[in-house]
Structure 1
Amino acid sequence: MEAARTPEVYVYIRTVMSMVIGLSLAQLLMRLAGFVQSPGKHRVYLVHLGWIASMFLFIIHFWWWEYRLQSVAEIGFGVYLFLICFCCLFYFLCVLLNPPSIEDYGGFEEYFISRRRWFFGLLAVTYAVDLIDTLLKGETYFRSLGWEYPIRNVVYIVLCIVAAITANRRFQAAFVTIGLIYQITWIFRLYDVLSG
């Protein structure tokens, strides 16, 4: 069977991807709305809120740069499956940040620290998969991002491994704070405007 080449294919693939991405955003927004609806129900943990903000930015940014998917010359089922699985990583990360219940925990701090290995393990995988996703858009596009892009992802992967291992609250707070600041500057430096 031949790989797909028509513009409608990109619209179709982006539609399926957007369903999974939409579910991811819904998870984050439900948690934030829950904090507003029942502010005293559970103790809030600022690091947890920071990662919710970080995932929100990561997902919005991901969807912004997936516009470049149209530069892929042809898409076979393997690429389609890869892209859907990539979106599923975001969903799993968002579900980890938004559990159905934390009744077994003293609050979000205890919950987050107890699930940090899963969260940061999946986040490290997401940054690794992001490198592959960017390569799918072509070597020229990958190179256009400069040396900072692969170094950024490798540093995030290493820091995620450290964050998965350590429960040190200062490290966790520093990681999410510096990560958010860097993420915002990265987005506006490289992806402020979509060009055709």
Structure 2
Amino acid sequence: MDAFSHIRVIISMILGFGVAQLLKNTVKLIDHPQKSKSVYWLHLCWVSYIFILIVLFWWWEHRLETVQSWNFLAYLFLIVYTTLYYVLCVLIFPDNIDEYKNYKDYFFSRKNWFFMFQILLFVVDFGDSLLKGKAYFQSLHWTYPVRNILHISLSFIGIKSSNEKIQIGIFFILFVFDILFIAQNYLY
């Protein structure tokens, strides 16, 4: 197995665990509504958003086949980077929230961690794009750096604010921007 095939398997496993975490806990809400804490729609919006981010990341990683030479640091970098997605999945949808009144209480008590990991994810994403080569990085539309900087900036605001309207605004801006980003870059 070549290095690209090997890293693709590891990335798929880690992302698969993350998607399983999101799906398992979403289905538990449907399967056992009386057992689950009251659902919070903004929390579910973030769950769906993280799912979209994972699918987009998975799609982007097929471009790793353009990497000509692999070394241990590049390999480790990608594993750590992919693990950030899994951490986001567990932070946004843990297996158990018995310590909290409901998902709204959980979300606002963990929002700082959630947004800090998003900041880290989008900072590291620049390195991932550079790993694919300078030509690849330069081929990205202007929306790529704007997208990452927007995510980082709004995540800082998300950390600072516990105002529900601001949190809704952050979600809405990032969601709409990413849908437009996907349409611009991948729906042709």
User: Scaled by the length of structure 2, what TM-score is found?
Assistant: 0.95
Counterparts in 2 of 1:76-95, with a 5 A limit?
76-95=71-90
In structure 2, what is the equivalent of residue 38 of structure 1? 32
Q: In structure 2, the residue corresponding to 1:115 is in which secondary structure?
A: helix
* Whole-Å separation in 2 of the counterparts to 1:192 and 1:23: 27
1:67 is matched with which residue?
Answer: 62
Partner of 1:12: 6
Shift of 1:39: 2.1
The Cα of 1:140 is off from its aligned counterpart by: 1.3
Q: Percent identity?
A: 38
Identify the residue that residue 106 of structure 2 maps to in structure 1.
111
Superposition deviation, residue 192 in structure 1: 3.0
Q: CA deviation at 1:48?
A: 0.7
Kindly provide the CA deviation profile for residues 2-32 of structure 1, in whole angstroms up to 9, marking residues without a partner as x: xxxxx82211110011111110100110111
Among 161, 178, 181, the alignment partner of 1:183 is: 178
Choose between structure 1 and 2 for higher RCO, CA contacts under 8 A separated by at least 6 residues: 1
- Give yes or no for the alignment of 1:22 onto 2:16: yes
Q: In structure 1, the residue corresponding to 2:99 is in which secondary structure?
A: coil
> Take 2:177 and 2:142, find their aligned partners in 1: how far apart are those partners?
16
Q: What is the CA-CA distance between 1:147 and the residue it aligns to?
A: 2.0
Runs of 4+ aligned residues of structure 1 deviating over 3 Å after TM superposition are none
Report the number of matched residues.
187
Is the Cα–Cα contact under 8 Å of residues 19 and 51 in structure 2 kept in the other structure? Answer: yes
State whether residues 10 and 70 of structure 1, in contact with CA within 8 Å, keep that contact through their aligned partners in structure 2. yes
- Structure 1 SS opposite 2:124: helix
Instruction: After TM superposition, give the deviation of residue 103 of structure 1 in Å.
Output: 1.4
Structure 1 position 122, deviation (Å): 0.3
Is the contact between residue 25 and residue 95 of structure 2 (CA under 8 Å) also seen in structure 1? Answer: no
For the residue of structure 1 that corresponds to 2:2, the secondary structure is: helix
Residue aligned with 1:100, SS: coil
Structure 2 distance, partners of 1:74, 1:192, is: 30
Post-superposition shift, 1:178? 2.3
Identify unmatched segments of 5+ residues in structure 2: none
SS in structure 2 opposite 1:64? helix
1:28 maps to amino acid: L
Mapped to 2, the partners of 1:192 and 1:64 lie a distance apart of 12
- The CA RMSD measured in Å over matched residues stands at 1.3
